[in-house]
Structure 1
Amino acid sequence: MLGPVETRSVSPVFVGRAEELGTLHDALARAREGEPQALLIGGEAGVGKTRLVEEFAAAARRRGAVVALGGCVEIGADGLPFAPFSTALRALRRELPGELTAAAAGQEEELARLLPELGESRAGRHDEDGMARLFELTARLLERVAAEHTVVLALEDLHWADASTRHLLSYLFRTLRTGRLVVLATYRSDDIHRRHPLRPLLAELDRLRTIRRLELARFSRDEVGRQVAGILAQEPEPDRVDAIFERSDGNAFFVEELAVAAHGGCRTGLTDSLRDLLLVRVEGLPEAAQQVARIVAEGGSTVEYRLLSAVARLAEDDLIEALRSAVNASILAPAPGGDGYRFRHSLVREAVSDDLLPGERSRLNRRYAEALETDPALVPADQRATRLASYWYHAHDAAKALPAVLEASVEARRRHAYSEQLRLLERAMELWDAAPDAVRRTLRPVDHAEVYPPCGCDPASTPLRYLDLLAEAAVAGRLCGERERALKITKRALRLLDDEDDPLRTAWFWIQRSRLVQRLARGDGWKEIATAQDLVRGLPPSEVHAEVLATAAHWSMLREPGPEALTAAERAVEYARMVGADEIESNARLTLGGLMVEAGQIEAGLAHMYDVRDQVVAQGLAVVVGRSHVNLPSTLEGIGRSEESVEILREGLRLTSRMGLTESEGWAWGNLAESLISLGRWDEAAEAAVSAQRQGHTAAPYGAGANSLAFLALARGQVPEAARHLAEARASYGPHDPMPQHDLPISCLTVAVAAAEGRLTDARAELARALEAGFPLGTQRYAWPLLLQAATAEADARALPAARDGREQVLDGIFGTVKRLTTHAPVWFAHEQWVRAELHRAEGRSTPDTWSEVVAAFESLARPYDLARVRYRLAESLLTRGGEDERERATELLRLSHTVARHLGARPLAEAATVLGRRARLPLTPPAEPRPGPADPAEALGLTSRERDVLRLVAAGHTNRRIAQELFISPKTASVHVSNILGKLGVSGRGEAAAVAHRLGLFPAEMLMPGPAG
C-alpha cells in the first residue's frame, strides 16, 4: 500500500559473512546434485541472521532455485502451531502449484492440517501415529517437489517456534534422504537459556552428522567501518567508526541504529542503554505513528493491515500516514508476501512492547479480540482460533478467554499439534474457576472436546465438565510425548472420580493410564486394564466398554493368549458393533482373527482378518490399514503361508509409505524379512531387516530386524555377527514388558548362539528359563523353533562326554513340552516331526524312516533351508544303514541339500554336506555323462502330472494367476503346486525351477510358447 520505501539504515552493501555464505552456496550445490542439506544458523539478536538468509535466498533464486520462506509467529508469547511450515508451503504452492498438487495427491486430507488450501482434514479418532503420519507425509511431499526443482526451505526465528514446529523440523532433519532440497533454520542463540524449549532440540541435532551449524559472530572493527560506509554512502570518520564499534560491540543491528542516530545528530546513541536508543527513535515519530507502533507491538510478530485498521480506529488516511512515518523511520516494514506490517527488527518490537503499561497491554489485546470476533476474516483461517484465544487470554477476560482457548485447543488437535493442544487445555484449566458459571454451562463437549468418555448422555445437551478437560489433556499429553504430564493428569482425574459414581469415565481413565505406563516402561499395564474391566463388568454396552474389552483382548493376544483373550475379543466385537464404534470393532476383529488362527480355527480366523483389511483400505482408515497389513501377514507366516504373507506385505509397504504410517511400515519390513527368510530369499530378507531398523521409530521393529539379521548371520556361519545382532535385539525390547513374540525368538537365538560357541550349559539354562515360563496357547509358532534348536544342540553334542550330565532331564523337558503343543498348521506338524527326530538323534536311535517322515512333511512347504537341513539328516541316517540303495538316495539328497546351502550362503550346512559326502565317498556334483534315466525326467524328480503342467508354465514365466487361468484352478491351488515343485526340486525360487526344467530338457521349446492372454 505504501509502495517502495527507502530504508536508509540498512547498508546496501553486504558486509562480511563470506565464509558463512560460502557454506550456504556449497549446500545449494550439493542439493542440486540430489543430496538434501540441513543447516542451522544461530546468533544473537541483531547480529545479521535475516540479512544472511536474504542474501542467500536472492543468490539461490538467481541460480534457478525455488525459495520458500517461513517464520515462526509470536502472538503474546504464544507460538502458532506449524506457522513457519504453513507459510513456507503456501509460498511453495504459489511458485510450483502443479508440482505441489501432484506431490500431495491422495493425501490432501492429512496435509491440509499444515496447508488448509489443500482441502478439509479428516475428522475421527486420534492415535499415537497421527503426528508421525503427518510428519512423514510432509517429508515425502518436500522430497517429491524437490525431485525436479531445487528448493530452499528457510524457517526463521526458531526461538519462537511452537513444540509441534520443533518436532516436525527435527523429523525432517533426521529423515530427508532424497531430493534437491536445502532446509535451513535460524534462531537467537542469546535467547536459548538453560530451560528454553529449543535447547533439547539443538542438543539432539548436534548429534546428527548431516546437519551443519553456523554461528554468526559480531562484526570486527573493519567490518563495522564498511557497514557504516554503506549506510552513509560515504567513508565515515575513523573516530565515528570507533565510537559506533565500541557502543555496538559489532552487533550489526545496533551499528545501523547508532549510525543513523549519529548521522541525524542524535547524541542519545551514546547513552548507557541501547534499548533507550530504540525507544527514542520510536518516540521521535508523530503521535499517531507511535500509537500504531504500540498497537503492532502487541498484535504479534506480524499484523494484517485490515486488523490493524480495526484496532487503531483511525481514519484510513491518518493510518496510512502514520504507517508511512513508521516505515520511513525504519521502525516498521511491510510484511513479506502479505498485506500486513511488522517491526523491521524484533528487538524494537520487544522494546516497545516492554514499555507498555499493564492496563494498556490488556486494553490493546481486548481491542484485537473484539475486532477479530466482529470480523473473523481479518486473519488467515488457520490462525484465527489461536490468535483469538491469545488475545482474550492476555486481555484477562476469563469469560471470553475460556471458550476461545477451548476452541483453539480443538483446532490444534485437528492439526495434530498436540503439544499446543495440551498447553491450551492447561490454560483452560487455569481459567476454569475464574470463568462465570453461566459461561461454563454454555460449553458442550461436542463443541469443545473431541475426546470425552461416553457416559450414556447426549454430549450436545450436556455441559462440559472439568473432567472432560482432563480427558482431552491426558490424550494430548500421550500423543505429543509428554507422558509424565499425562500420567499426572490421569492421577488427578481418578482422584476427583473417587467421589463420583461414574464407572465408565473412571474405566476410561484407567485405560489411558495403562497405555501411559506401558509407554513409560513402568510396567505391562495389566493392573490398570484389569481395574477398568472390573468397573465396566455388568454395565450395558457402550463405546468405553467395547474399548476396555478390545484393549484387554489385544494385551492378552500379545502376552497371554488363550480362551479368556478369545472371549474378550468376541465381546469387544459384539459391543463395538452394537454402539457403532467402527474403529474399535475393526481392531477387535483383527485381534479376534489372530486368536482364532492360533486356536486352530485357521480359515475362519483368516476370513475375519482379510475382511477387515479390505474394509479399512476401502474406508481409508489409516491406523487400522497399518495394523491389518502387519497382523495378517504375521499370522500367515506363523502358519507357514509365507508366499501369501509376502504378497500382502508388499502391498502393505506401498500403502503405509503412501499414507505416512512410519511405525507400521517399520513393522511390515520386519515381518517381510521373516517371511523372506522362510522362502529362502535371504539377500532380500537382509535388506528388509535393515529397512525395519531404519524405518521403525520404536524399539520393536528395530528388534525384529536385529532378530532376522542374527538368524541369517548364524545360518551363514558368522557367529560373532549373530551374537552382536542378538544383543541389539535383546536391548531393543527391554525387560519391563515381556511378550512371547519377543522373548521366545530371543531365547531361540540365545540357545543357537550358545551352542555354536560351544556353551551347552548356557544353552540349557536359557531353555530351562523358557520351559519354566511355559508356552501358552497361541505361542506355538515361536515355541517350535526354540524346542527344535534346543533338541538339535543336544543331538549335536551327543558325542561330547561333558554333555552327558543332565542330558536326560533336558530331553525329558523338551519331549514333555512337545506333547502339549498344538500342531493345527502343517508347518507346526512338520516342526513336531523334526523335533521328535532330533530327540531320537540325541538318544542315538535316529532312523531313516523317522527322517523320511520329516522330509515328507517339509516337501509340501515352501521352506527350502529347512528342507535342505532335514534332507541332510536323512542322507546322514541312510548312510548309517549302509545299503547300496540307501547310498544312491543319500547321494541325491546330499546334492540337493548342498546346492541349496551354497545358493543361500549357508556355509555350515554346505560344509557339513561336503564333509559327509567325502567321508562316504559320494560325489556332490553329477558326473559329466549322466546315467540313462526314465523316459520322462519329471518322474525322477517325483513330480505328479499336475505338477508337471504347473512347472511347464512356471518355466514359461507365468504368474500364479496366469497358471490358474491356464489350468482352470484357483490361484491358491496354483501357489500350493508351485511350493511343492520348489521343494521337490530343492530350489528356492521360480527362476531356479525354470532353470532346472530347461537344463533337463523337460519341455520342448514350442511347449513354452506363451498361450493366449487370459
Structure 2
Amino acid sequence: MDLLEREAVLQDLTGHLHEAVSGPGGVALVRGEAGIGKTTVVHRLAQMADPHIRVLVGACDPLSTPRALGPVMDFAPRLGRAVRTALTRALAGACRADEVFDRLLADLSVCPSLLVVEDVHWADEATMDLLRYLARRLPEVPALVVATYRDDEIGRTHDLTALLGTLARYPWVHRHDLAPLSRRAVARLAAGHAIDAEELYQVSAGNPFIVAEILAAPAEAIPATVREAVAGRLAGLSAATRTVVDVLAVLGSRVSLPLLTGILPDAEGALEEAVACGVVRTDGQVSEFRHELTRRAVLEAVPAARRLRVHRDVLAAMRSGPVAVDDLALLADHAEAARDPAAVLEYAPAAAARAAALGAHREAAAQYARSLRHADRLPPGRRAALLEGHSRACLLSSRLDDGIASRRAAVGLRHELGDRLREGDDLRWLSSWLWPAGRTAEAGRTGLDAVRVLERLRPSRELAGAYLNLCQLACYEHAPVPVAAAYAEKATALGERFGDAGVVVQARFHTAAARLLCQEDGWEDCEQAVASAIAQDLPVDAALLTVIMAWFSALRRDAARTTAAVGRAEAYCLDRDLLTYLLWTQAWDSWGLLNRGLWPQAAGAAQKVLRHPGSPPVVRALALTVLGLVRARQGKGQVWPLLEQAAGLVDPGCLLDTGPGWEARVEAAWLAGDQERVQAEARRGLAALEERSHPWLSGPLACWIRRAGGTPPGVPAAEPYALELAGDWAGAAEHWERLGCPHDAALARLSGDAGALDQALDAFEGLGARPAVAYTRALMRARGVRPVRRGPRAATRANPYGLTNRELDVLKLLNEGLADAEIAARLYITPKTAGHHVGAVLNKLGVHNRHEAARKLHHSERR
C-alpha cells in the first residue's frame, strides 16, 4: 500500500526527530481510528531515521490482562545491561518500576534514540506511568518518544484520557491526526483494479486498511480480514450493546436517537459502549457506523428473522408521523426489506424523483430499479413512467445497457396504450442513447421513427426534441451542413414556441458545430452556446456541450484548446455527478494526449477509461484505438487485437466518426511496412466518407495513401493535410507545430529535404517512436543523406531515462522553473524547438508536467 496523504505528518515527525536527537527531546502523539495507517507512518519514520539514531519499537497488546511494561520488553534487547537487569528484577517483583524508569532515562541520555510505543490505548498501568515519567523529563535527553493510539476507542473514563490530560501541559508534546484518505487517493490506489473507485471510497470511508483489503480480495463482498477484525472488536461487548449495534446495522446509515430509542427504549447506555469500542460514532442526535463495510459485516451476522422484524418496526415508526422528504430513500429501503410492496411503491418512486432533481443520478437509478421490482401490479402507464425515469437515470450514470433496455420497454408500453406523444418521445430518447452505444444505424432509424410518430400529432415540445436529435446525429455523423441546419431550424422554432431553452441552445450549438467540422467558422458560436447553457443552469445540456467541445478540439488536433476544453468538461461533469459524460471526456483526453506526443500519459488515460465498468461502447472503442496506436508507434506487439476489438464494439460508421478509428488502422499498417494494407484501409475509410464532408477525417486518409506511394483522390482536407497533399511539407509541418502535434509535424517532414529528414528523425527519437525512427533512417540511406544516426550516443545510453545531452540540459533548466522561451534563449535554439525538447523530456520521464519532471531529476540525483 502506497503511503498516500501522509507526507505532511511524516515530514513533521522527521522534523521532531531531528530536533529531539540534538536536544531537547520531545513526544509525538499519532492518533487515528483503527486501520488509518499509524503503524505504517511510524515504521516509515523509523526507516528514514539516520543510522546513528537508535530505533526502539514496542507495542501494547489487546490482552485481557496486559503485559506489564510490554513495550519495554519488546525493545529491551537494544537497551543497555543496566536497564535489562532492572526490568528483569521489576517483573520478578524484586524492585519497583521506578528503577526501570530511571535506568531507561539514563540509557536514553547517552544515545540519540527514537522510541516508538504503539497502541497505547491497550497499555498497562505501568506503561502509562512510564510515559508520564519520560514525558516530563524528555527535554533533558536526546530522544523522541512516538506514541500511537486509537482515538475512536477512548472515552471519558479510559486510562489514556487521564494520561493525555497530563501531557497537555507540556509544550514539547506534539499531536498529529491521521485523517481518512481522500477520494483522489482512493482512486489512485484503485487504479489497475476492476473496481469502482467511488464505491470503494463510500464503503471504506477512506480507511487505508479497508481499502487495501477490498483491493486484495475484490471478488468478496466483505473481505474475510475485515469480517474477522469487526468480529474481534465486537466480541467483548455486553449483550445489550451488541443488540444496539445489530439494530444500527439493520437501520442503515445515520440513525437518529429518537428512532433508535423508539425500537430499543434503553439504548442510550449501551450506545455509549458501542461508541467507546470504535465501531460506532455519534454526532449530536445521530449515530452511524464509522465505515459502511463494517456495518455490512455486522449486518451479515444478524439473523434474517430479526432483520425482518426490525425493518417492519422501523417502517411503522417512521410512518406514524409526518414524512420528511429527506427520509424517502430510507423509507423505501426499509419498505423493501420489510417485504411491503405497497410501501415500496409509495416511497421508492418519490425517492427516485428527489434524487434525480438533486443530480444524484446513481441513487435515482437504484430507487427506480427498486420500484420496478415491485411494479407488476401497477397500471401500464405508471409502469412506463417508472421505466422512463429509470432509463434517464441509468443513462446519466453510465449504465447504458440498463437505460436502453428500460427505454425500449417504455416504448412498447406506450404503443400498447396508444399514447403516441410519449411513444414518440421515448423513441427520441432511445435514438439519442443508441449512438453512444455504438449502434449508429439503429440510432438513425429510431430517430426518424420518432419524428414520423410525432409529426402526425399537433406541434409539441416532444417534436422539438425529436428534430434536435436528428440535428445532433447529422452533426456527429458529419453529414453536410445543410442537413443539420434544416433540422436545427425546425427544432429552434418549436423550442422557442414551447419555451424549451435546452432545445434552443443545443440547436444553435450543433448548427455551429457542423460548420466547425467542415472547417468553416463556428468556434465562437459554439462557445457562446456553451456559455448560454451554463448561464441558464441547464446541467445536462451544458455537460453534453462541454464534452463535445473537448471531442471536436481533439478531432481538430488543437492541443491548447483540447487541454482547456477537457479541463472544463471534467470539472463540470464531476461537480454534477454526470458519469457518462465524464467518461467520454476522459477518453477524448487520452486522444488529445496522443496528439501532443505524451504517449505514456495517453495510454494511462485510455486504460483508466477501459477499467471503468460503466464506459459506453463508443468510449471504450476510442480508448482501445488510442491504446493500440500508442503501442504501434512505440513498436510494441498486440496492436491489431486492440484495433479489431475497438471495431467490433461499434458500427463501422461510428468508429470513423468519433475519432482516429480508421486512421489508426492505416497508420498501424504503415508502421508495420504493409503498404498494400495502408492503401486498402485508407480507401475503405474514404468510401465510407463519400457522402459526408469532414476534412479532418478524409484529409489524413488521403495523406496516408500518398505516403504509401499511391495517388490520393481529391477529397476535403484540413489545412495541414491539404498543404502536405500539395507538396508543401514545410508549411504542413509548421502548421502542426502551431497546433502542438510533434508527431504529425515529423510525418510531414518525411517528404522534405535532408534537413527536414534530420528534424523528423530527431522528433521520432524524442518521442520513442521506434518503427518511425527505423523508417526514417532507411529513407535517409535511400536518399544518400549522411550522416545517418546509429542510435543514442553513449551519454544517452548511460542516462537511466534515455535522455540525450540536450534533453538533460533542458531538464536542468526546467528545474529552474524556466519557460520555453527562456530555455530557448539559454540554449540558443528557437522556442518551438525548445517546446519539442520539453515534450520529449516529459514523454521519456513518463510525467505530466514540469514540476513532476524536476522532482524526478532530484530523485535520480539522490540515487
Structure-2 change in CA distance of 1:855 and 1:397 (3 Å) = closer
Distance 1:522 1:700, change over 3 A: closer
Question: Contact 2:438–2:618 (CA<8 Å) still a contact in 1?
Answer: no
The alpha carbon displacement at 1:581 in A equals 3.0
420, 426, 443: which one aligns with 1:525: 443
Aligned AA for 1:568?
A: Y
Select the residue among 328, 331, 334 that pairs with 1:385.
328
Q: Does structure 2 conserve the Cα–Cα contact (< 8 Å) formed by 1:741 and 1:779?
A: no
Alignment partner of 1:372 is 2:321: yes
State the identity %. Answer: 16
- In the alignment, the residues of structure 2 paired with residue 327 and residue 675 of structure 1 have an alpha-carbon distance, to the nearest angstrom, of 55
Report SS of the residue matched to 1:421: helix
Counterpart amino acid of residue 282 in structure 2: G
Matched residue, 1:559: 477
Alignment of 1:182 onto 2:208? yes
Separation (CA, whole Å) in 1 of partners of 2:343 and 2:515: 54
Give the conservation status (yes or no) of the 8 Å contact 1:409–1:424: no
Partner of 1:727: 641
Matches of 1:575 and 1:992 in 2, distance apart? 54
User: Aligned AA for 2:317?
Assistant: Y
Structure 2 residue aligned with 1:139: 183
- Counterpart selection for 2:509 from 570, 590, 602: 590
**How many residues matched?**
631
C-alpha contact (below 8 Å) 1:57/1:67 kept by paired residues: no
CA-CA distance at 1:705 after TM superposition? 4.9
Q: Which amino acid aligns with 1:873?
A: S
Q: Is 1:606 the equivalent of 2:523?
A: yes
Q: Distance in 2 between matches of 1:519 and 1:595?
A: 18
From 826, 830, 837, the equivalent of 2:723 is: 830
Q: Which amino acid aligns with 1:385?
A: L
1:492 Cα offset (Å): 4.5
Match of 2:499 among 573, 580, 585: 580
Deviation, 1:763, is 3.6
Residue 367 of structure 1, CA deviation:
4.5
RMSD: 6.1
The residue that corresponds to 1:63 in the other structure is: 148
Per the alignment, residue 422 of structure 1 pairs with 368
Q: Is the 8 A contact 1:298 1:365 kept in 2?
A: no
Give yes or no for contact 2:400–2:437 (8 Å, CA) kept in 1.
yes
Which residue is 1:337 aligned to?
A: 282
Aligned to 1:507: 424
**Selected match of 2:699 from 755, 778, 784:** 784
Which of these residues, 901, 905, 908, is aligned with residue 774 of structure 2?
Answer: 908
Which amino acid letter does the alignment assign opposite residue 488 of structure 2?
A: A
Q: Is 1:335–1:342's contact at 8 Å kept on the other side of the alignment? A: yes
Offset at residue 506 of structure 1 (A)? 0.5
Give the 3-state SS of the residue equivalent to 1:205 in structure 2.
coil
SS in 2 for 1:372: coil
Counterpart residue type for residue 593 of structure 1 = A
DSSP-derived class of the 2:218 partner:
helix
CA contact (8 A) 2:721 2:732 kept: no
Deviation at 1:595, TM superposition (A): 0.9
Question: Is the CA contact (8 Å cut-off) linking 2:760 and 2:776 kept in structure 1?
Answer: yes
- The match for 1:277 is none
Pair 732,366 (structure 1): closer, same or farther in 2 beyond 3 Å: closer
Say if 1:573 and 1:730 are closer, same or farther in 2 by CA, change over 3 A. Answer: farther
Q: Note if contact 1:474-1:512 (Cα within 8 Å) is conserved in structure 2.
A: no
Q: Distance in 1 between matches of 2:263 and 2:789?
A: 96
Q: Is the 8 A contact 2:632 2:639 kept in 1?
A: no
* Residue type of the alignment partner of 1:337: T
- The alpha-carbon deviation at position 535 of structure 1 amounts to 1.3
Q: Distance in 2 between matches of 1:62 and 1:665?
A: 44
- The letter for the 1-side match of 2:708 is A
Separation in 2, partners of 1:542, 1:990: 54
Offset, 1:635: 3.2
Q: Distance in 2 between matches of 1:394 and 1:673?
A: 44
Are 1:536 and 2:451 matched, yes or no? no
| Equivalent in the alignment of 2:607 | 693
Q: Is the 8 A contact 1:594 1:606 kept in 2?
A: yes
Q: 1:67 to 1:411 in 2, by over 3 A?
A: farther
Shift of 1:408: 2.8
CA distance in 1, matches of 2:671, 2:246: 77
Equivalent residue letter for 2:420:
P
Deviates more, 1:655-664 or 1:739-748: 655-664
Indicate how the Cα distance of structure 1 residues 25 and 669 shifts in structure 2: closer, same or farther if over 3 A, else same. Answer: closer
Shift of 1:532: 0.9
TM-score by length of 2: 0.57
1: distance between equivalents of 2:120 and 2:563?
47
Matched with 1:473 is: 390
Is the contact made by 2:820 and 2:834 (CA closer than 8 Å) also made in structure 1?
no
Gap change, CA 1:341 and 1:204, over 3 Å in 2: closer
Q: How does 1:661-810 map onto structure 2 within 5 Å?
A: 667-668=584-585, 671=588, 674=591, 681-682=596-597, 684-695=598-609, 697=612, 698=615, 700-701=618-619, 703-705=621-623, 707-708=625-626, 710-711=628-629, 714=632, 718-719=634-635, 721=636, 724-738=638-652, 739-741=654-656, 745-794=660-709
CA distance in structure 2 between the partners assigned to 1:326 and 1:642 by the alignment: 58
Counterparts in 2 of 1:501 and 1:768: CA distance versus 1, 3 Å: same
Cα pair distance change 1:32/1:758, threshold 3 Å: same
Counterpart amino acid of residue 490 in structure 2 = R
Give the Å deviation of 1:432. Answer: 4.1
Q: Which runs of 5+ in 1 are unaligned?
A: 1-22, 36-47, 49-54, 70-94, 104-137, 147-165, 188-200, 220-250, 261-280, 283-289, 313-318, 434-439, 441-463, 796-810, 834-850, 876-890, 925-952, 960-981, 994-1014
1:290-343 CA distance string (max 9 Å, x none): 9x999999978996443466679xxxxxx55x98799999xxx99742658999
- 8 Å contact kept, 2:254–2:288: yes
**Secondary structure of the structure 2 residue equivalent to 1:337:** strand
1:327–1:822 distance in 2 versus 1, CA, 3 Å: closer
Determine if contact 2:746/2:760 at 8 Å carries over to the other structure: yes
Using the TM superposition, give the Cα deviation of residue 505 of structure 1 relative to its aligned residue in structure 2, in angstroms: 0.5
What SS class does the counterpart of residue 580 from structure 1 fall into? coil
Q: Do 1:307 and 1:371's aligned partners in 2 also have CA atoms closer than 8 Å?
A: no
Compute the displacement of 1:391 (Å).
6.4
Equivalent-residue separation in structure 2 for 1:640 and 1:299 (angstroms): 54
C-alpha change, 1:585 and 1:613, in structure 2 (3 Å) is same
- Against the structure 1 CA distance between its residues 213 and 512, is the aligned structure 2 distance closer, same or farther, given a 3 Å change threshold? farther
Change (3 A) 1:253 1:574: same
- Asked if structure 2 preserves the Cα contact closer than 8 Å seen for 1:307 and 1:372, the reply is no
User: How far has the Cα of 1:785 moved from its partner?
Assistant: 1.3
CA gap of 1:733–1:589, structure 2 versus 1, over 3 A, is farther
Contact 2:686/2:698 (<8 A) preserved: no
Q: Would the aligned equivalents of 2:666 and 2:678 in 1 still touch at CA under 8 Å?
A: yes
Aligned to 2:467: 549
Q: 1:572 to 1:860 in 2, by over 3 A?
A: same
Quote the Cα distance in structure 1 between the aligned partners of 2:36 and 2:280.
Answer: 29
Take 2:229 and 2:628, find their aligned partners in 1: how far apart are those partners? Answer: 53
Question: Matched residues in 1 for 2:425 and 2:409: separation?
Answer: 14
Output the TM-score relative to the length of structure 1. Answer: 0.50
Asked if 2 retains the 8 angstrom alpha-carbon contact of 1:297 and 1:352, the reply is no
Deviation of residue 900 (structure 1)? Answer: 4.7
**1-side partners of 2:416 and 2:149: how far apart?**
67
Displacement of 1:782? 1.7
Equivalent in the alignment of 1:214: 225
Counterparts of 1:484 and 1:712, CA distance in 2: 29
Paired residues for 1:613-1012 under 5 Å? 613-618=530-535, 623-624=540-541, 626-636=543-553, 638-639=555-556, 641-649=558-566, 667-668=584-585, 671=588, 674=591, 681-682=596-597, 684-695=598-609, 697=612, 698=615, 700-701=618-619, 703-705=621-623, 707-708=625-626, 710-711=628-629, 714=632, 718-719=634-635, 721=636, 724-738=638-652, 739-741=654-656, 745-794=660-709, 811=711, 814-815=712-713, 818=714, 821-823=715-717, 825-833=718-726, 851=727, 853-856=728-731, 858-859=733-734, 862=738, 866=744, 868-875=746-753, 892-893=755-756, 896-897=759-760, 899-904=762-767, 906-908=772-774, 910-912=776-778, 914-915=780-781, 918=784, 955=821, 987-989=832-834
